[in-house]
Structures are given as C-alpha cells and as structure tokens.
Structure 1
Amino acid sequence: MKRIAIALLLGAGLIGCSQSSSKMAEPKMDEMAMKKPEMVQMSPEEMKAKMELAATPGAEHKALAPLVGKWKTETKMWMDPSKQPEVTMGTAQHNWVLGGRFVQEQFSGKFHGQPFQGSGMIGFDKVKGEYVSTWTDTMGTGIMNGEGKFDPAKKEIEMSSTFSCPVTGGEKSSRSVTRIISNNEHVFEMFSEGPDGKEFKMLEIKYKRQG
C-alpha cells in the first residue's frame, strides 16, 4: 500500500521523479569516495564482545512492542492534495521475528477492487544507531529502504526512505512518520514532494488492534 501511493502519483505527474531536484542532485566526487575505516587493533575476545553487543536486542527494540499484533487498517490516499482521499480497508499482522530483533508486517487489502499484499520489516541497527526498515509489495519488484530516529517524547519514528523510480530508473525519496497513539492504535503517514516543490501527505494508514 505504501508503494501504491507513490506509483500512482508518479504516473499522474503529481510528484516529481526528476534527478534535477535539489534533493536528488548528483553527489560530488569527494562525497562519492569511500571512507576507509580506521583499522583498530583488537583481540579476538574484544571483537567477539563487540559483535555480541551489536547483535543483542535492546531498549530501542522494545520501543517497537506497541506495533506487534493483529490490526484492522483504514488507508487514505491522496492523488491530489486539494481533493478528498480514496479510502480503503484492510488487515495487518505484525510479529516479532529473529529473536526480537525485528518486527515483520504482513499487510492485506484491496486497491481498485484488486487484491493487494505487502510485507515490511522494521528494527534498530545498533551499529548505525538508527531505526531501519524495508517494504515490498505486489505493486513492484523493488525494495524500499528506510532509516530514521525515534522521538520518545512524541512516540514517533520518523524515517527517510528511498526506492527505485519507474519513470527515470533513478532513486526517489520520501519521508514517513509512525505515530504510536497507544498500545491499541498507531498511524503511519507518508509525505513526498509535489510538482510545486512543497511537501504534502500522500498516504495515511490507521491501525486499530483487533480483539
């Protein structure tokens, strides 16, 4: 569903996919150069300790617990920010996987009367110090990748995601926010840049716990 909004808006010309955008400007040569990590002398024991620390789920992972469960969903998609959104209903199942390191989502719904399925994962990369996510669905063959931060005061995860643009073959970026309202409700919102250069909300999914 997250990719549906982008694909349709791209097709309608309501969001840009041009590499000339300031956000998509070509990187400078020095920025493209790979920085070689400094070689630090470590004992095998020190290396093992670092690897174990990086692999152990922590408080950042526990913060995702309110997302786990079975959900009813209401999706609103704006083809044009000046018009009323299209509304569809669906279901989602979120489970802990890989020993509590990631939350996996299985989403089912319909779009224009046709079945739609999506699958995503979110977790916390202790090496990067950021939340990371992936999304795949039946509207494409690529993987959307995201990275971002959690604001404990607002109970929001804000992420920046990239995906392959079917128009140019390049990359497109979007911003998303997951707001944890309570243990029984959370909201996913996705924003992108319109042809006027201003950001607008293209997608909103409300999750309400079943049972």
Structure 2
Amino acid sequence: MLKRISVTAAAAALVVGLTGAAGASVQYQPTARHVSAAPADNLTPGAYHRALDPLVGTWKAVKYNYILGSGGEPIVSRDITVKMRWISKTGGRFLEEKTEGTLGGNRYYRVGILGFSNIDRRYEWTTFDSVTPTAMTYRGAPVAGTSSVLSIPGTFTDPGVLGPDYLGKTIAMRTVITIARDGRHSFDLYFTPPGQSERLVDRVIYTRRVG
C-alpha cells in the first residue's frame, strides 16, 4: 500500500492545478496598462509580466488529485500553502512559487518558476518537487495579447506514475493557469497518454489569501 502511494504520488506531484471542481472563478481582466506589446529591447519586463501580478502573495489552497483518487473521484488536500513572489535579484523577470502541505498523507513540497520570454513571446513554467525525479518543463505558444487564462504545454518521461504500460514513454502534458479578479486563482494539470484523450490529473484552487 505504501509503495502504491509513493509511486502514484509522483503523478500528483506533477501539479499545478485549477478551475472548475469547486466552482467557477471570475476571471481576471488585465487593465489598460497590461495590454501593450512586449518592450522592443526584448530584455525589460513588460505587460505580460505585469499580467501575473495578481498571483503574488501567500495563499491557502485546495488540491484535487485524480491519480491518487479512485472511481473518478480525487483525493483532496486542504492544508496547502502557496507563496508566490517576484524574484528581485532577476530584476523581477521571474515569479517564484513555493508550495507546501501534504499529498496522499505524505509531506509535499514544490518550487516553480514562471516567466515570460519577450523574444519568444511565450510563457514558460518549470517545477521541481519532493516526489517526482524530473523537472516538469512547459513552454507556451507565442501569444498576441494578454489573457487571464494561460495554457502552457510540455512533455515528460513517465517514471511510472501512470502504470507499467507507460514507464519510460513520453507523455504530453499541459498546465492551465486561470487568473481571477476575485482572487480565486487556479492551476489545472492535464496529461495525454499515448493513444488516449487528454485528462485532468491535478487541480489546485487558491481559496483564501492569508498575507
């Protein structure tokens, strides 16, 4: 039983989850100062970085993990704390996320880095956690304007979280970040195993700002 939890917890760890399960959010609408194009010098943080500002702070969150669940129902972690801040030593170019709590009865920790590449005109997201033996890396498609919903795809090599049939295979994944003006932000993580449809595997909803 312990072996099953530690193996499947890895998939849950491939997280960032959001939207839907506990009710709809009011999406964040960027203000006028957020809608200009990225700076011409390609180096200075601009509108696309500023669109991430509502994520900054300390949040209580609820995590719904479908890999550890059964019968289509997720396990739910209600003791998650998320802290997000701009890293000042990078000139405010990257947002750092630290998540702590429990997952499947075990302690859980994750650090993530979210940024925007002016030259590629895309959002980029990478996470490292306490149970998954690989970095989870996402690179978005070029964007033409700011949005309250960010869809950032990537791939990973399955270390066994989806079962023996997928061990060592490349799995498509996608994180969807929804920024809500009522502060109820969410992160959804989807997997698309070979030959299957995309499915939601993890959802995190920021339910209350605590600082």
- 1:70 maps to 58
Question: Structure 2: 5+ residue runs without aligned partners?
Answer: 1-6, 14-39, 161-166
- 2:114 maps to 122
- For the 8 Å contact 1:147–1:161, the answer to whether it is kept is yes
After superposing the two structures, state which structure 1 stretch, 181-190 or 93-102, moved more.
181-190
**Matched residues, number:** 169
- 1:99 maps to 91
CA distance in 2 between counterparts of 1:58 and 1:4 reads 39
- For the 8 Å contact 1:66–1:183, the answer to whether it is kept is no
TM-score (norm 2): 0.70
Q: State the Cα distance separating 1:106 from its structure 2 match.
A: 0.4
Residue pairs, 1:28-47, within 5 angstroms: none
- 2:17 maps to none
Q: 1:180 to 1:151 in 2, by over 3 A?
A: farther
TM-score (norm 1): 0.70
- 2:34 maps to none
> For residue 93 of structure 1, what is the amino acid of its counterpart?
K
CA distance in 2 between counterparts of 1:85 and 1:189 reads 13
Question: Structure 1: 5+ residue runs without aligned partners?
Answer: 10-51
Choose the corresponding residue for 1:133, options 99, 111, 125: 125
1:60 is paired with a residue whose SS is helix
CA distance in 2 between counterparts of 1:62 and 1:4 reads 36
Q: State the Cα distance separating 1:169 from its structure 2 match.
A: 3.3
Residues 112-152 of structure 1, C-alpha deviations (whole Å, 9 max, x = no match) = 22211000010101121100010000012321110125686
- 1:155 maps to 148
Q: State the Cα distance separating 1:72 from its structure 2 match.
A: 0.4
- For the 8 Å contact 2:98–2:111, the answer to whether it is kept is yes
> For residue 85 of structure 1, what is the amino acid of its counterpart?
P
- For the 8 Å contact 2:75–2:104, the answer to whether it is kept is no
> For residue 138 of structure 2, what is the amino acid of its counterpart?
G
CA distance in 1 between counterparts of 2:8 and 2:95 reads 22
The higher-RCO structure (CA 8 Å, 6+ apart) is 2
Q: 1:5 to 1:62 in 2, by over 3 A?
A: farther
Q: 1:81 to 1:124 in 2, by over 3 A?
A: farther
Q: Larger helix proportion, structure 1 or 2?
A: 1
Q: 1:114 to 1:151 in 2, by over 3 A?
A: farther
- 2:201 maps to 202
Residues 170-201 of structure 1, C-alpha deviations (whole Å, 9 max, x = no match) = 43220121111225220111112257712221
Residue pairs, 1:18-57, within 5 angstroms: 53-57=41-45
- For the 8 Å contact 1:120–1:136, the answer to whether it is kept is yes
Bigger Rg over Cα: 1
Residues 68-106 of structure 1, C-alpha deviations (whole Å, 9 max, x = no match) = 100001000113685221100210100001221111000
Q: State the Cα distance separating 1:109 from its structure 2 match.
A: 0.9
CA distance in 1 between counterparts of 2:133 and 2:179 reads 29
After superposing the two structures, state which structure 1 stretch, 148-157 or 87-96, moved more.
148-157
- Please give the root-mean-square deviation of Cα atoms over the aligned residues, in Å: 3.0
Q: State the Cα distance separating 1:58 from its structure 2 match.
A: 0.8
